[in-house]
Amino acid sequence: MRLVNVSNRITIPRRAAAPGGLAVGVLAAMRARGGLWFGASGDCVANAADITPKLLERDRVTYATIDVPEELYTAYYNGFANGTLWPLLHSFLGTFHYSASEYQAYDAVNSLFACHLAPLLTDTDLVWVHDYHLLPLAHKLHDAGVRNRIGFFLHIPFPPYDVLRALPVCPQLMRSLLSFDLLGFQTQGDRLNFLATATALWGETVVGSDGAVAMAGRRTMTGVFPIGVDVADIEKSSAESLKSTSVKQMQAGLLGMPLMIGVDRLDYSKGLLERFAAYREFLEVHPEQQRRVVYVQIAPLSRADVRAYAELRAALEQSAGRTNGVFAATDWTPIRYLNRNFPRNVLMGFFRMARVGLVTPVRDGMNLVAKEFVAAQDPDDPGVLVLSSLAGAAVELEDALLVNPYDSSAIARAMQTALTMPLDERRARHRRSMQVLRSNDIHQWHTRFLRALDPIGFEHAKPRRAAGS
């Protein structure tokens, strides 16, 4: 059995920086079992007739990429995927929009994926499709004659039916999802929202007592598979990275002050404006902390062509400038706001030296930064995680300081609590959180999903051993 992972984009590992988020999970699964990773290259082509998959072999994994026609890509990616589905699935109806032409481009790109993936498949391949960009892909693959087992994992939230029904093509996409053999969700809440939507559309009889949905002679299983992190790798990487130049420079720049850190892709779902406001309130309510703490917010730019993201960037720059203008001193900058990427090992070093990790999204399917922060800590002197109760990670990390991300006063209080928490309590919270992370790490995640997708094939397919192991 070969594992075939499919996602919108492919991340080919490079020495300078390890992949993050979705790519970490995909690579962990394929490095364990071998396989093919199929997705878009990020480049565009003028004519669909010119599309030919490009294959690259590296570390026992085959990467297969296709270029997408330029006339389709913007409407597919910036339009329907990130202007329609992303806000809708995060329950942000205020930034959601719908365009029939963008939906047609989205559907066409999924057809292109199926057209070029199908010839690469063998009869025994197990296909695992990832995330909201590819909701119709199993249906398209079936139309192309593919009869393999196909699973789908949604890395972001699934909203309640009253939100999802705002999408004119909601019934079509829900029917497409039922072409998968297994649908995986981050939390039980997401799974129940999906089942409630199926019930609302087609009646109670389509949902079985086991959470499977039966329609038109097909039976689609559903399950909860919260994604984890590679705990052992992060522990090692964070300790070793303390010797790196970037981490040493950060340490020197703190001038002995404790560090509060946030690392988020620049996105309106991450609660950054609310977090900046909470930090300003924290400085006002606790003047004794002024010139005694440094807040570093790393927020790499994303989806710059989408208007909502450009507006968010401008608002964050204004907010940070306002706080620094009021509170800064000649030897102290309250917020260091950085729109740039850092290598993942460097970020783990930043996490390890931080006293407080701020992860306060207003809605998030899981949020692996929360788990990475905990795993990166020094167990003898761990930092404290301030975590949004609206992130999927809050279900597991009960020993974080859980806050409502819209409550600036609550976040400000949590910042003070974290900075002043006794060492014994910090160690106890960290120890319990690490037990949770180890019980559901990245390897457990892909093992559980694949076993649920194809129990018989999974048990007969031995994981590949890395060279030299």
Active site residues per annotation:
155, 364
Residue labelled with tokens 């565009």: 44
**Which of 112, 86, 114 is CA-nearest to residue 98?**
86
The beta-strand segments (E) located in 35-188 are 35-45, 54-58, 61-69, 126-130, 150-153, 182-185
**Which of 123, 133, 142 is CA-nearest to residue 38?**
133
DSSP 8-state code for residue 270: G
Distance of CA 462 to the CA centre of its chain: 28
- Cβ neighbors of 426 (< 8 A, separation 6 or more) are 381, 382, 383, 384
3-state SS class at 329? strand
Tokens of 224: 């909860």
The letter for the amino acid at 155 is H
3-state SS class at 13? coil
**Which of 362, 385, 381 is CA-nearest to residue 437?**
385
* Full 3-state SS string of 383-422: CEEEEECCEHHHHCCCCCEEECCCCHHHHHHHHHHHHHCC
